[in-house]
Homo-oligomer: A and B are copies of this chain.
């Protein structure tokens, strides 16, 4: 078994009003960013998954999103990256 870094994004569905994003957008415009619009804010989740292959690690990450990390009524999720973790002790400072 190897360890993989799996990175996922969970975001509100396009049809759902993103109140946090709208608030940030207004704040940005107020401090001098009139060129920024359509701000949306989601969650970025990094995890280490022990698996025999990158495909298996991705599948575990997808199931974790489906079962816990995302609310399927209002959120979408996607795995954005899967890469092997260099062999260092877990918890070692970086």
Contacts and interface: CB of A to CB of B under 8 A. Distances in A.
21 contacts: A14-B94, A15-B93, A24-B45, A24-B69, A28-B47, A31-B67, A31-B68, A33-B60, A33-B64, A35-B51, A36-B47, A36-B64, A37-B50, A38-B48, A38-B90, A40-B45, A41-B43, A41-B44, A41-B46, A43-B44, A44-B44
Nearest to A81: B80
A50 to B, nearest CB: 4
Given A9-B44, A42-B43, A44-B42, A28 B68 contact: yes
Interface of A: 9-11, 14-15, 21, 24-25, 27-28, 31, 33, 35-51, 60, 63-64, 67-69, 80, 90-91, 93-94
